[in-house]
Amino acid sequence: MDSLEAGTTGSAPLDAASSSPPPPQRRRPDRKRTRLQRIAILAAILFVLVFALAWGARSCQQNRKVDSYRTYLGAVSTAIDDSAALGKQLDQIVTNPTKYSRKEFVAKLDELSVKQNEIAARAEGFKPPSTLTSEQAVFAEGMRVRAEGYKLLQATLLASLDDETVKPGKVTALGGYFSGPDAYYMSRFYGQTRTVMSDQGVSDVPVPTATYYLTADTFDSATIETMLSSVSKSAKLVGRHGVALLSVTAQPADIELSQGGGTAEIPTTADLGFEVMVQNQGDGVEQNIAVKGEIELPGGVVLTQTGTIASIAAGKTAGVVLKGFDIPAEAFGRVSTLKITVGPVAGERVTTNNSGSYKILLKLE
């Protein structure tokens, strides 16, 4: 009994082992499904790369666009500021012209004209974005107009140094050359450029304004009138004005006359004339200098001829020949008096050397 039980007990493990189920078999992977999964992953990666490249390219393109507007408008802003700076210097000249010497006044006007011309030339060379071509034309034209204004103003103010008859209206009329470009810029450039940039998605680039010449009172009529009055009264600006009679020579005999030197015998011919030489003893060019010759005949009859010297530079000499004296027969062989008068010119204060008297004896040849 014991042995049976023992045998039975000992064989139980064998029966359990022999009756256990077999291990599960491993499924073979689905190759087609794996390939699809891999393709999907690669497609997703490719999409991300393409999106990133497209976004990067668009971002670079936008940055280049923004930079083109910023560079161009920066150049425009600098030109506007430079031109306004010249306007402030001009205002100082107009407000207080007598603080300058004549030489400084002339040099300053020339400097302003040259610099505005340089600004205009610079503006001509600006390269705008293609969307601002017409606006660039507006800006460049405005700078050219202002350069012309400075040139005309320079000529007019220089004339005021030599001609007291320059009227305020002649200067104030030039104001449009200065304020006009700013008005045109604000009307045809400023707003349009902002609209264009908004359409282009450019929002962080400022458009400069141009208003200095619109608000300055440089060309106010009262201001200009005061300036011209100050200039005409300033000895250091207007300088000296005056001409002097240098010599008188009877032609064609080429006989030089002298005051207090006795009576000059002058052969009378159909070509009789008196060559009058005049010197400009002032500091500026003198124009349209009047010359008058009077022959007082025995008995008191006076024969008169006049002439004009177009211009004489400072310190230079020019002449004119007075001809056409209709001398009556009774004057021949008798002493007459020739009086020559030159000028005076505008602003001339000393006239003691503007005339001379000469004793002449006209005789027939």
Predicted confidence (pLDDT) per residue in 324-334, tens digit: 999 998 889 99
Parent domain of 273: 243-364
Do the domain assignments include residue 24?
A: no
Nearest one of 278, 279, 290, 277 to 346, comparing CA atoms: 290
- Per-chain mean pLDDT for the chain: 88
pLDDT tens, 266-297?
Answer: 998 889 999 999 999 987 789 999 999 999 99
Residue 325's CATH number: 2.70.50.30
Q: Which residues pair with 361 in a beta bridge?
A: 265, 335
Domain count for the chain, please give it: 2
Nearest one of 165, 354, 195, 356 to 274, comparing CA atoms: 356
Mean pLDDT of the region 162-171:
82
What pLDDT, on the 0 to 100 scale, is given for residue 161?
82
Nearest one of 352, 349, 345, 248 to 294, comparing CA atoms: 248
CA–CA distance, 301 with 297 (Å, rounded to integer) = 5
Q: Tell me: do 147 and 230 sit in the same domain.
A: yes
pLDDT tens, 234-258?
Answer: 878 877 789 999 999 999 999 999 9
Which has more confidence, 4 or 304?
Answer: 304
Look at residues 179, 202, 237 and tell me which one is the last residue of a structural domain. Answer: 237
Q: Tell me: do 206 and 62 sit in the same domain.
A: yes
Strand duo 286-296 + 273-280: pairing: unpaired
Q: Tell me: do 196 and 287 sit in the same domain.
A: no
Q: Model pTM greater than 0.95?
A: no
